[in-house]
Amino acid sequence: MSAHILIVEDEARLARFIELELDHEGYTVSRAADGRTGLEMALTGEPDLILLDVMLPGLNGLEVLRRLRNEKDLPVILLTARDSVMDKVSGLDMGANDYITKPFSIEELLARIRAALRTGAAASKKTAALRCGALELDPARHTAAYDGTPVQLTYKEFLLLQTLLENRDIVQTRDMLLEKVWGYDYAGETNVVDVYIRYLRQKLDDPFGVKLIHTVRGVGYVIKGDGA
């Protein structure tokens, strides 16, 4: 069964070139030339992976990614212009799995596609809901609830909470969390973990009057087995 790749790219010649190369590799390929069509096809067309240009007419790539992540968890590789560090950082924060800077070699693109597809396959196996006390996390639907009350989490907040829940009672260092949630090549500030822990506490600890995420001073963070 060949993977289906959706290319969302408004530069027709580049899109056509990628399409031919992917087709040659045996992938099923579909194409969209603007953000709105791309989002529609991503939501309805069941692609296994999306190559998403950032600079797009209609909706830009980051906006497509943001809306997509509210609905679906599938691998996304951003195609970014050279030197647009902001796009890369916000793209990864918003849940892109990887990015590749134009101009790129087709070999590099193919290698990243293979890696992202492997990640996606591994992620979709872990679909059982995670529970801890009154907290429930459903990785398949990307929803979280405390005592039945839905909690709105961003993509990275969700991944961070999921990682802590999957490693219950095992203290996670900042480096471990950075690698698991932001990826090995994260280029931003290292205190991003602390910032996101604070976001999670604002959404969980404060409103529900609990202390879910414990700080282990000088080491990292942990969620305890019973959620207390």
Residue ranges binding Ca ion (CB under 5 A)? 10, 53, 55
Would you say 31 or 203 has its CB closer to Ca ion?
31
Supply the minimum distance, in Å, between the C-beta of residue 74 and Ca ion. Answer: 21
32-39: list long-range contacts, CB under 8 Å, 24+ apart.
Answer: 32/6, 32/7, 32/8, 33/8, 33/9, 33/57, 34/8, 34/10, 34/58, 34/59, 35/8, 35/59, 35/60, 35/61, 35/63, 35/64, 37/8, 38/6, 38/8, 38/64, 39/64, 39/67, 39/68
Residues 148, 155: Cα–Cα separation, whole Å: 20
Supply the minimum distance, in Å, between the C-beta of residue 206 and Ca ion. Answer: 41
What is the number of the residue whose Cβ is closest to Ca ion?
A: 55
Angle of helix 106-125 relative to helix 12-24, nearest 10 degrees, comes to: 70
Would you say 11 or 138 has its CB closer to Ca ion?
11
Supply the minimum distance, in Å, between the C-beta of residue 54 and Ca ion. Answer: 7
Q: Which residue type sits at 33?
A: A
Six-digit token string for 48: 């296994």
Q: Is the dihedral of CA 209, 214, 215, 221 positive or negative?
A: negative
Would you say 54 or 151 has its CB closer to Ca ion?
54
Would you say 53 or 98 has its CB closer to Ca ion?
53
Would you say 12 or 228 has its CB closer to Ca ion?
12
Cβ pair 144, 131 in contact under 8 A = no
Supply the minimum distance, in Å, between the C-beta of residue 201 and Ca ion. Answer: 39
211 contacts: CB under 8 Å, gap ≥ 6: 205, 228
Supply the minimum distance, in Å, between the C-beta of residue 170 and Ca ion. Answer: 43
Would you say 10 or 93 has its CB closer to Ca ion?
10
Residue indicated by tokens 């240009």: 53
Would you say 55 or 145 has its CB closer to Ca ion?
55
Residues 171, 216: Cα–Cα separation, whole Å: 7
Supply the minimum distance, in Å, between the C-beta of residue 11 and Ca ion. Answer: 5
Supply the minimum distance, in Å, between the C-beta of residue 10 and Ca ion. Answer: 5
